[in-house]
Homo-oligomer: A and B are copies of this chain.
């Protein structure tokens, strides 16, 4: 087996360079006998003499010269590894895999991508948009580093940190703009358009009306908030969308917005990660950046809602 050590290779390089045991030892900050022993052991492991010692000088053998070239290569790679580690230390770097639910992703991502790359230059951000159960699964399997979802998730192996709350806004045809704002009960009488099954936002909306997802209802499910708003604009029914979606989704559709009276429906959005992730500290930082991005966005959204 080849059990020489990196230390021996460093000593070897020093001796090859200085051609003198005493000075090479000094350069390595060890005593001359220590160097002699390590060089001898390296020669024994390799099975051939690396140096020719004579009374006036220490010189590499032909074999030693060949070895020296390879040793330089190894030590260079080792130093590069150390450098790489030093540069990565205490810094969020390399790959960061973030999962986001579909009712957040289109509105929040454009902002946070910019904010995060600005905050962490050189970060290789990989984004995944899918439904909560899959995000949870991928996070548990280590295929994601973190996810932005609606809280609570209640997985004991995950840490949750709240980011913000967002209220739900009623979207109804422009014609209804002057009608009174319905409450949870009256909403149940209306034709409520919802996202298809699996979206957490669907359940959150239903829960506001105290309705059960699995009850037989006359339903028209949309695959995205955008679709739902278009359907409302066509006079097919009403829907709820999260506040954050308002500026994007109601820009071009002829619909009217209405805010509920208290208790207003809302949901809490947060970040989750594995309890065991070594990135916990850095993810706390990321959460803070996301929180601020969302705050900025909410300000704009509120403005948009007010104008409508």
Using a Cβ–Cβ cut-off of 8 Å, how many residues does chain A contribute to the interface with B? 52
Of A47-55, A113-121, A206-214, A232-240, which binds chain B? A47-55
With contact pairs A47-B89, A90-B47, A274-B52 given, residues A84 and B61 touching in the complex (Cβ less than 8 Å): no
Closest to A71 in B: B81
B84 A70 Cβ-Cβ under 8 A = yes
Q: Give every chain B residue within 8 A of A45 (Cβ-Cβ).
A: 85
Determine which of B2, B54, B62, B66 lies in contact with A276 in the assembled complex, contact meaning CB atoms within 8 Å: B54
Determine which of B5, B57, B77 lies in contact with A5 in the assembled complex, contact meaning CB atoms within 8 Å: B5
With contact pairs A85-B48, A89-B48, A278-B52 given, residues A62 and B6 touching in the complex (Cβ less than 8 Å): no
Closest to A78 in B: B74
Distance from A83 Cβ to chain B, minimum over Cβ atoms (Å): 8
Whether A41 is near chain B, meaning CB under 8 Å from some CB there, is no
Chain B CB count within 10 A is highest, among A4, A5, A81, A88, for: A81
Distance from A67 Cβ to chain B, minimum over Cβ atoms (Å): 7
Q: Give every chain B residue within 8 A of A61 (Cβ-Cβ).
A: 278-279
Q: Give every chain B residue within 8 A of A253 (Cβ-Cβ).
A: none
Whether A277 is near chain B, meaning CB under 8 Å from some CB there, is yes
Whether A145 is near chain B, meaning CB under 8 Å from some CB there, is yes
Whether A251 is near chain B, meaning CB under 8 Å from some CB there, is no
B73 A77 Cβ-Cβ under 8 A = yes
Distance from A68 Cβ to chain B, minimum over Cβ atoms (Å): 10
* In the complex, per-residue mask of A67-105: 1 if CB is within 8 Å of any chain B CB, else 0: 100110110011111101110111001111000000000
Chain B CB count within 10 A is highest, among A2, A71, A84, A95, for: A2
A-side residues, CB < 8 A to B, are: 1-7, 45-49, 52-54, 57, 59, 61-63, 65-67, 70-71, 73-74, 77-82, 84-86, 88-90, 93-96, 142, 145, 157, 274-279
